[in-house]
Amino acid sequence: MRNVLIFISLFFLNTIFSQNTPVLTNVNNGKLYHNENGEKIFLATEVDVKAEYKGGINGLAKEVGKKFNVPDFNDKKIHKIYLSFIVETDGSISDIIGITADEEKLITEGIRVFKLLPNKWIPAQKDGKSVRMQYVFPISLSSS
């Protein structure tokens, strides 16, 4: 029987959100941090209250774990995926992209899963207003 382990590295999330430099550059023709109307997309370090999945990080990990189709791996190493997306002011997510993964099919599956997630996000807050925020989500997979 194949045991699948999906876990979220909370330490890694904290490390990413502590950075002062952008995680991504030159996405969507260089408009990652502003939309067509000039609306800024904030990094987690720039907001007063970070965007959060309504079930918390554990609820998000559980939802992703239920929906993620883990491929058969021919090794016992841990495979990592890093997805980036924007949490919108209405709690929906957009612009889901894979930053990196050991295998391209893992990025494709990660994007598929995040498109299936319900819009259960609490938007980020800046100066008392809901704002758009970039969120980076790491996923680690292993098959044993």
Higher pLDDT, 99 or 122: 122
- pLDDT category at 22 given cuts 50, 70, 90 is very low
Q: What whole-number distance in Å separates Cα of residue 109 and Cα of residue 81?
A: 10
> Do the beta carbons of residue 109 and residue 68 sit within 8 Å?
yes
What is the pLDDT of the chain when averaged over all its residues?
77
Secondary structure of residue 77 in the 3-state scheme: coil
Model confidence at 111: pLDDT above 80: yes
CA–CA dist 137, 100 (Å, integer)? 11
Most confident segment among 23-32, 61-70, 127-136: 127-136
Please tell me the pTM assigned to this model. 0.73
For the chain, what are the domain ranges?
4-143
pLDDT at 79: 82
Buried/exposed code over 64-86 (b: 16+ C-beta within 10 A; e: otherwise): bbeebebeebeeeeebbbbbbbb
pLDDT band at 36 (very low <50, low <70, confident <90, very high): low
For 47-51, 52-56, 76-80, 124-128, which range has the lowest pLDDT when averaged over its residues? 76-80
pLDDT at 117 over 80: yes
> Is residue 50 within 8 Å of 14, Cβ to Cβ?
no
Average pLDDT over residues 79-102: 89
What distances in angstroms separate CA 3 from CA 14, 88, 142, one per listed residue? 27, 35, 8
